Amino acid sequence: MQDQWWKHAVIYGVDVERFCDSDKDGVGDFAGLCAKLPYLSSLGFNCVWLLPFYPSTDRDNGYDITDYYRVAAKCGRLSEFQEFVHRAGEQGIRVVLDLVAQHTSSGHPWFQAARQGSHSAYRDYYVWSDQPPKPAPGQGTMFPGQEDSVWTFDDTARAYYYHRFYHFQPTLNHRNPRVLDELKRVANFWLSFGIAGFRVDAASHLVEDPLDPAGKGDAAHTVLRELYAHITRQKPDAMVLGEVDEDEGKLASFFDGEQLNMMFNFFLNNYLMLALATESALPIREALSRLPPAPENGQWANFLRNLDEADLERLDQQQRDRVLDLFAPQDKMRIYGRGIRRRLAPMLGGAARLKMAYSLLFALPGAPVVCYGDEIGMGEDLGADGRNSVRAPMQWTAGRNGGFSAAPKARLVQPMIDQGPFGLAQVNVAAQDGKPGSLLEHLRRLTVLRHQHLQVGQRDCHILECGPDTVLALGWRTPEQDILALHNLSGKPARAEVPLNGLGTDEAPQALLGQGTDAPRDGRLSVALEAHDFRWLCWMR
């Protein structure tokens, strides 16, 4: 029987370079990450997703890879990576890596060889054209304002090459069997170290054919099916988590149980942002009703923020404007015309609202994902370039460089946030560790609840009527216990009147999180909620 552990995963995203520096060179490394394993274990996350740590040209946070088989020297040695995976496993933490399969760096040896002419054995590893076709709608550059086209002319090759992302990230030709074999070898290599699976970067763009932009059909998904089959043959219980940011109508074509067993829920994330901005639960109810169900072997991966921009592409223009106006009122807070380059804590602007949002994340059907620093409410650095605004180094203490590194400031991989209300003196792990009521302790409590009550987050979640549009009511039934989660998205008090319809008993429920409440009357539970209040209530059978 396959261990579908990812259905109950609680995932913590880590950028190794920005987490903890052990050798005083200003860059985080695996020795530093190992040193912080007691902290990672204390958080309660049972899966750590590592962002790219491979050799790269450092132009896109490591996603411009020049060597798939090594650890970048600044991040340490392969043996230190192996030690981290081993020691994490001893503490019940699985490790998942980024599989950057859509593109390489233009500095990768494959691309450098491909440039040398049509006779090169690597020419067909990439997509070339003498007369590039016009991209189909929705297949233009991912970075408007920074890239003008998805085709760039190469003087050495005397041809155009395709890049869905930056011009220094040429797209691999996934219709070439040799490319697919290369990716399988990469997967084999890292699986041999005992990792638990992969996050497939830009998974939805692996199925595009730039030379036939209008092409459609199931055959386009062959590359994902072959990769998934290969990975799960090597490791039957591997997590294969896809980055698929598509319209709702396309999501099911990726989530059939044969290409990915987890998908990042960008669609729901857009409506979470809208719900938080409008203080209404209706967008969440709508999104949950429109989402295709996860396959029997699958699970959604839900998040509030990641380490890219908060992309609002799935909202219509009016909805997007409402979110941008509230959460990114200044131009410098926006990017690509559709996204926000801010962390969650400054966006939401208050401890009560922030705690409610995380409680909601952990209650939604799916596996919650939290990225480093968000568990303490770190802010952004709008002075950094592009998406690096949300990638400042981890703030461990109020001391020098926030405890991240003992290197001189000038050598840090990125400047610390050392000013303002989210500066390291105000926001750090040491200040919140063990402190009742802190955001850090709130997140720890949420991870405990998810491990204790495995039905929460599963797809048999019931959306219950409760009266005010500002309140979301979610319920789960099992033979042993029933759970009700209530979240008031409004900054004003609200009273939820929940027809239980068989959920719970006649007794007063136990409060798992938040305050308790009286017993239901005549099959209806009445709960007075304060502004941004939340409750997890439980009835034992």
Q: pLDDT at position 427, please?
A: 99
Instruction: List domains and CATH numbers for the chain.
Output: 5-102+174-451 (3.20.20.80), 109-162 (3.90.400.10), 460-540 (2.60.40.1180)
Cα 54 to chain centroid, rounded: 19
pLDDT, tens only, 448-496: 999 999 999 998 899 999 999 999 999 999 999 999 999 999 999 999 9
Ramachandran angles phi, psi of 371, nearest 5°:
-95, 150
DSSP code, position 135: P
d(CA 343, CA 377): 8
d(CA 375, CA 11): 12
Ramachandran angles phi, psi of 467, nearest 5°:
105, -100
Ramachandran angles phi, psi of 85, nearest 5°:
-60, -45
- Active-site residues, by number, are 201, 243
Q: Take residue 21 and report the two structure tokens written for it.
A: 């520096």
Residue of 250, 266, 290 lying closest to 339 (CA atoms): 266
d(CA 187, CA 181): 10
Q: pLDDT at position 357, please?
A: 99
Q: pLDDT at position 134, please?
A: 85
- Amino acid identity, position 187: A
Beta strands across the sheet bearing 471-477:
462-464, 471-477, 481-488, 534-540, 510-513
d(CA 63, CA 145): 20
Q: Take residue 438 and report the two structure tokens written for it.
A: 């802190």
Give the residue carrying structure tokens 């719970």: 504
Ramachandran angles phi, psi of 263, nearest 5°:
-140, 135
Cα 68 to chain centroid, rounded: 22
In angstroms, what CA-CA distances link 412 with 198, 241, 394, 462? 29, 31, 12, 48
Q: pLDDT at position 1, please?
A: 56
Q: pLDDT at position 219, please?
A: 62
Q: pLDDT at position 358, please?
A: 99
Instruction: With a cut of 50, list the residues of the chain below it in pLDDT.
Output: none
Residue of 145, 182, 140 lying closest to 163 (CA atoms): 140
Which stretch of DSSP H or E encloses residue 324?
Answer: helix 317-327
Q: pLDDT at position 422, please?
A: 98
- Amino acid identity, position 520: P
Cα 353 to chain centroid, rounded: 21
Global confidence as pTM: 0.97
Length of the chain in residues, anyone? 541
